Amino acid sequence: MTATATTAPALPQYLRALERANEVRIARAELKRRVAFGKIDVAEVILHCPWEADSMAVVDLLMSQRRWGQTRCRKFLTQLPMSEQKTVGSMTERQRHALAAMLGSAEPDRLERDPRLADSLRSHIARRDVSVCENGLLETFSSHVVTRI
């Protein structure tokens, strides 16, 4: 017995690329919608980095929150030595935790709502990358810069 397999001809490369780009756009729009409506925290997205946010600029993610415009994002990111166009996927673990800590201190009730974020920040503090000052603010330590959060 001979069985012949019929396969559909593969799509040209440019069509596969367009399909992939559309999938990413749709997934990012859904992620931004969930952030805007408060169904998911930006800190959680930054810490866990889902595939749709991997190549997304940090400023785009921050601006998807309610009441976060370009000026607020720029002022917020100047506290960290990080470019606005830095992608979420290219951030180091230290940068992720420092940014999540800053977001947590910008909205204190966020830590109460998200126990995973609070646990992650506690472990970061235990590793001494972040410390708590006497006034309750957080400090991050890098090789050259101490940033008050």
pLDDT digits (tens, 9 = 90+) for 55-100: 999 999 999 999 999 999 999 988 888 888 999 999 999 999 999 9
| Lateral strand order in the sheet of 146-148 | 130-132, 138-141, 146-148
**Can you spell out the DSSP letters for 67-136?**
T--HHHHHHHHHTTT--TT-BGGG--HHHHHHHHHHHHHHSTHHHHH-HHHHHHHHHHHHTTSEEE-TTS
pLDDT digits (tens, 9 = 90+) for 64-74: 999 999 999 99
Distance, CA of 46 to CA of 20 (rounded, Å) = 22
Phi, psi torsion values for 106, nearest 5 degrees: -70, -30
pLDDT at residue 127 tops 90: no
CATH architecture of 16-148: Orthogonal Bundle (1.10)
Structure tokens of 66?
A: 């309610």
pTM of the model: 0.64
* Cβ atoms within 10 Å, residue 50: 14
Distance, CA of 80 to CA of 95 (rounded, Å) = 8
